[in-house]
Structure 1
């Protein structure tokens, strides 16, 4: 059935016409086609000619159903005059079915009403001419079989199609409503998250930036250790930078579409900002990159920046004063990140023990989301963070 429905409409109509002619010819050869007899011997070729003419009309049953039905009246009248045969009447019943089903609503109703009126006229005329109840009964059987049944069947199929179309339209409308509800829920959740970020985190970062600036003012009026001033400058720089990124994230969460102008997230092009902030905090950072300004997919670029940022933060927390090496290079359609630092002789206390591995999990999730790999752990006396991110990802920078 699937292969049949995939055929072109003209091919299906041609095969249908050929099948109808073959079946009708077989019934005629078997002597099972005659419904009423007429005196005299009739040539089979004459019967085949009438049948073939009607089958040609069936070739247009879908594209021009009314014309096919009206054109089929000629071979039907000839067949009735020569002696009605079953194949011709069955094929013409299909033409009536097609004229009711494949036309517009007005043409379908006109066809049904005309054939109903003609059927009533034939039965009444039979009763008036013969007065024989048996002849009237035969006329009623013929009308019911070859006229009423095709009209009823076509109307039933038409009704089911209209119901199916209405249900399909309703399902599409419900899908659209569900999608709008989903978008509204997402927008509401994003707004709530943006508000919470602003109220909880952005406020603290602003306080850190203001307090560190005040501390720098106090230190500038006295004789203090330059290293201490550098550390406080690093605190202020990091807090201001974090505050800017937090505002960017809040803007992204509040944005409702791509047309909103929001600052772009940090990328590897700003890697020097991370290095300078780490050096200002008092650690030695050796960074090496072979990208040379090469364009990377935006998702990979942003994820790589965040992984390096988190790895440097962990190094400053858990191995203070140790040299950190950062290596970034692309090879074979893969971006490779390597961040290494010697392990601290005595591990510092970790008050955040309950959520201390959240940073590692975040880096691993970022790599996995892009189809890459991530590894972090001790290696040859160093703590090593390795990430491999495939570059064959949509979203150009």
Structure 2
């Protein structure tokens, strides 16, 4: 029922306000009649009713001008007290409603100063002018206590509203920050995918073209075979680029997106490097286990980026890949024996994102990563990955807790 009344009041605010004013007028006049009924020498009736009407007619402006309306209603209540009326909550109802509105809309200091002044005024009025013998509680303490109680309730409601507004704002800010964080993570993930795809296939195409140009004078037949493989390399690059860019398209058909590569495509990856003139020796230790899609993609990209760096920077045509399986971890080690040239120093030197991307992938999967020169020459990339995706491990821990 209360919900229906609230909805009706929201749809018809003017009718609800008029009904409230009429109800307050009836309550205030009832307070006047009640005082006359319990007094041996009742005060004049019509002045009390006139003061009640005047107090109620100022209430529509209690929201826009709370303090002036509070002054008018307080003067009306005090005037009724000087006429001999007992200041009951019924008779003071316009004053109490205005005091509540003032506590909500003016500053806390002004609200409490006005409440204290009003309480003191009605207390003194009841003590000096109301003819109820020595009943101090009824004439002075009771009306002052009602004014202070309504002011305290208004201050409480105001604090609760401010707290709810602050909490809603904080929740909205947290939601925006979480959305921004997720967008940033997705951008970084797509950036890593694009870097790995472009760097890998361009490095292979460049190596194949360079090898073909180098051996063309002496072995044109083999050079033509290498050139014939270039369309396959570029076609593979286009397929992976299409799959990666498809992640950005909300309306893309899942059937058109190529599945993410994993270690099952490792032989094809090694064949592409072999076509570019890089011989890769693969060693598998331990019993091979099935990897999740996220972990398989991470391992594949780390091997791909490491071998791409060997192709672009190392002065060698051989590399070694070791996959070591344990019951809980997969360790990847990619090494080459030739020294890797350091990038040129100076303002034009640019630091690549390959090592950074590999580190981010390993850490995001809950593993470790290390890359650096070997003591006896060459370069080594080593990372340890858990054999379960980080998200799967978190779901398992949540379900067991």
TM-score calculated relative to the size of structure 1: 0.50
Question: Shift of residue 337 of structure 1?
Answer: 0.5
* Structural RMSD (CA): 5.2
Displacement after TM superposition at 1:394 (Å): 2.9
1:310 deviates by 1.7
Residues 1:134 and 1:392: Cα distance change in structure 2 (over 3 Å): farther
Q: Give the one of 117, 132, 135 matched to 1:135.
A: 132
Q: 1:185 to 1:278 in 2, by over 3 A?
A: closer
CA distance in 2, matches of 1:357, 1:175: 34
**How far does residue 276 in structure 1 lie from its aligned partner after superposition?**
0.6
> Within the alignment, does 1:377 sit opposite 2:358 as a pair?
no
Q: Which residue number corresponds to residue 286 of structure 1? A: 281
1:390 and 2:386 are equivalent in the alignment: yes
Task: State how far apart, in whole Å, the 1-side matches of 2:183 and 2:341 are.
Answer: 44
Distance 1:117 1:268, change over 3 A: farther
Q: Deviation per CA, 1:360-384, whole angstroms, max 9, x where unpaired?
A: 3333343344441212322445432
- CA distance in structure 2 between the partners assigned to 1:393 and 1:149 by the alignment: 62
Of the three residues 246, 249, 257, the one matched with 2:244 is 249
Q: 1:258 to 1:375 in 2, by over 3 A?
A: farther
Q: Does 1:360 align with 2:372?
A: no
Aligned residues: 272
Contact map agreement 2:318 2:336 (CA 8 A) in 1: yes
CA distance in 2 between partners of 1:394 and 1:386 (Å) = 19
CA contact (8 A) 1:275 1:287 kept: no
Cα distance between partner residues in 2 of 1:331 and 1:293: 9
8 Å contact kept, 1:342–1:383: yes
- CA–CA separation in structure 2 for the residues paired with 1:113 and 1:158: 25
SS in 1 for 2:40: helix
Q: Within 5 Å, which residues of 2 pair with 1:187-202?
A: none
Shift of 1:326: 1.1
Q: What is the CA distance between 1:272 and its match in structure 2?
A: 1.1
Which among 283, 303, 309 is matched to residue 304 of structure 2? 309
Asked whether the 8 Å contact 1:230–1:280 carries over to 2, the reply is no
Is this contact kept in 1: 2:335–2:379, CA < 8 A?
Answer: yes
Superposition pairs for residues 90-239 of structure 1, below 5 Å?
Answer: 120-121=32-33, 123-125=35-37, 127-129=39-41, 133-135=130-132, 138=136, 139-145=138-144, 147-162=146-161, 164-165=163-164, 168=167, 178=176, 225-239=220-234
Give the Cα–Cα distance (whole angstroms) in 2 for the partners of residues 154 and 268 of structure 1.
Answer: 68
The DSSP-based 3-state class of the residue aligned with 1:295 is coil
Whether 1:271 and 2:275 are equivalent positions in the alignment is no
Distance 1:166 1:315, change over 3 A: closer
- Aligned partners of 1:282 and 1:321 also within 8 Å: no
Mapped to 2, the partners of 1:167 and 1:351 lie a distance apart of 54
The answer for unaligned runs of 5 or more in structure 1 is 1-104
SS at match of 1:254: coil
Residues 48-67 of structure 1 show CA distances to partners (whole Å, capped at 9, x for unaligned) of: xxxxxxxxxxxxxxxxxxxx
Equivalent residue number for residue 326 of structure 1: 321
Q: CA deviation at 1:247?
A: 1.9
Inter-partner Cα distance in structure 2 for 1:234 and 1:349? 31
Q: Deviations over 1:18-49 (max 9, x none)?
A: xxxxxxxxxxxxxxxxxxxxxxxxxxxxxxxx
By how many angstroms is 1:146 displaced? 5.4
Task: Rate the CA distance shift 1:231–1:294 in 2: closer, same or farther, 3 A.
Answer: same
Give 1:268 shift. Answer: 1.7
Please say if residues 115 and 147 of structure 1, whose CA atoms lie closer than 8 Å, have aligned partners that are also in contact: no
Specify every segment of 5 or more residues in structure 2 that has no aligned partner in the other structure, as ranges: 1-16, 43-83, 85-128, 393-401
1:16 is aligned to: none
Residues 315 and 234 from structure 1, CA distance in 2 versus in 1: closer, same or farther, beyond 3 angstroms? farther
Distance 2:152 2:39 in 1: 27
Deviations 1:158-196 (A, max 9, x none): 4553555456556666777x5799599979x97xx99xx
